[in-house]
Chains A and B, each alone.
Chain A
């Protein structure tokens, strides 16, 4: 909200000319923030360190970002909100517009939108505040873009629930700087885009130093609003007090410490004074809660119904792993029961900078369309370097990933190929794509033998 109380509109970066005050203001604001004393909470490096930093000893509010948790979305919304206020103040100091707002990068639109926005690419000459040389050079040059498998939010937006490992917003946790399993939006496109941009963006400890970080997260924030607005009352933020009353602290444009509760950031236009240029109509009022029908076959707890005896090591080539499904899987698959594929104990010294397409390879054929139920999502390793060696006051852990495979399991069950059979799961490395690439493009060898990733086990669970 600007000084007049008007709601500001965050705009898609490619809809803005290079000379648009939003674009030029961002570049000048970044430059101004970089010139500040690093000890100043409104400086560029300090703001980035609030997300994460390898530097020690940590200053106040460093290493606060929330990942693999149901706080992932609200924390980053708050982070962007205060960053936007700081940067707007810097823009105004530089005689820029008082209604400056943070743009977003909507790579979800595909095509030319999946390429790094032009103001961030290799500059013709001189120093450009928005250019970061460490990014993937093919992306930086604008010659290649992100594949649709990485940019599609479809699977995430289809998730019916906010809370859960394979649900939209992530699993219920306490404060969690890094964790095991993120929600579907965090996995794709969030983690995958981080991996593909590479360089500073490839690690949570440095990601916010890259100016594209803020536009990427503005898009993730926009997708949260879109998820809420779609499918009406079925999509809701968590009603839990534990989530709504949890608060996080930041610094505002005056360098003062400020706090917000998760419940404070749900209505962005009313409470935070911003909206998106694609903001959907507000959802209808929520319907009264309906008690779910209880299946007689509902298991009493998470039930493992299949697992691989061995793990698999990924080095940049395609791998197919068959998960044996136990004969007893014929029981307990009631109508309210979901089947999940878990990739467990994911370990590696550091991120390989490669994301994998994960799909159920039922026919042994080509990679599926991103809209196909056989497309499960992507597997990325954003933050893996700190999983076993956390920088903050946290215990180590391994990364995990969960995918809802209920439609595939039901399809196989109907064909009599579920219980007592094997579920083939393929991990295919993804690559950047040239202009004009189709939706199933971007699958190909992407070697990283020097940074192998070990998947400890694949398992299939029933969970109600």
Chain B
């Protein structure tokens, strides 16, 4: 099959409903905020109360920030939530569309809200152990740490656990049309997607968090890989390509570090 034919044969561009479009706008807003925080790390730190290494670019544990005071957990969680929305939600737009389409028109907005809130809550809860890991790693050699995290993420891409987690993200859910049962089913669907995504993506999220240089670009790159493997029709091929890319970048960092 020619490359052109493959391109032509790709499914049509997702025709997003209003609710999915709003989620896409929220993702864009998360990106704007992330870039602003990267450009104004000190201001961001004082505004949010977060330690500087949680604020890009000094979010990296190996960064130059001197402030190692006790973590303001709330601010740190806010940063984590922002990063989760920016990185993980793009791959969930089809799931958002699924919820909206399979709900009565009058209930679409509330159903999508339930889905997104549950989805982000799961990621938020995972932010706590992430903060502990970040604090533990703080001060270690940045390049080596990043290369190690990338190599681990590459290996993880090829494990059955990763495949099972990705498969979990592809499960649909019968949604009752009305009432509390609908809310519960949508919440469960959000949990299924979020838990699958957390198990699938945590090494990439960790690596993105400790990128020693150009962190917004690194986060953007990891967002692309996470979204690609979530939406592709060729998941095995995607995981192999991503693992190869991670390994190549890790090797480059090792070479530079040496």
Chain A residues close to B by CB (< 8 Å): 172-176, 241-243, 245-249, 259, 261, 301-311, 324, 326, 328, 344-345, 393-398, 456-457, 459
Contact = CB atoms under 8 A, between A and B. Distances in A.
Given A303-B105, A394-B233, A395-B166, A246 B174 contact: no
A212 B75 CA distance: 67
A246 B177 contact: no
Interface stretch (B11-19, B28-36, B134-142, B154-162): B11-19
Given A247-B1, A302-B101, A394-B233, A309 B17 contact: no
A246 B102 contact: no
Interface string B184-207: 000000000000000000000000
B1 A398 contact: no
Contacts of A174: 6, 9-11, 233
Given A174-B10, A261-B5, 15 more contacts: A176-B233, A245-B2, A248-B1, A259-B1, A304-B104, A308-B177, A309-B176, A309-B178, A309-B179, A309-B181, A310-B176, A324-B177, A395-B235, A397-B170, A457-B175
A245 B8 CA distance: 8
A398 B237 CA distance: 22
Nearest to B231: A395
7 contacts: A174-B9, A245-B9, A309-B176, A328-B106, A344-B172, A395-B167, A459-B177
Contacts of A326: 104, 177
B173 interface: yes
Nearest to A176: B233
Interface residues of B, number: 36
A302 B101 CA distance: 7
B103 interface: yes
Contacts of B2: 245, 247
Contacts of A398: 171-172
Contacts of A247: 1-2, 5
Nearest to B107: A304
A225 to B, nearest CB: 24
Contacts of A246: 1, 5, 8-9
Interface of B: 1-2, 4-6, 8-12, 15, 17, 101-106, 166-167, 170-179, 181, 233-237
Given A247-B1, A393-B237, A456 B177 contact: no
Q: Is the contact region of chain B dominated by helix, strand, or loop, or is it mixed?
A: loop
Contacts of A259: 1
B185 to A, nearest CB: 10
Among A247, A395, A456: residue with most chain B CB under 10 A: A395
Contacts of B236: 393
Contacts of A176: 233
Contact of A304 (B10, B12, B166, B177): B177
A173 B11 contact: yes
B167 A396 contact: yes
Given A246-B1, A247-B5, A344 B233 contact: no
Contacts of B176: 307-310, 457
A347 B236 CA distance: 23
A308 B167 CA distance: 26
Contacts of B106: 328
A393 B239 CA distance: 10
A309 B177 contact: yes
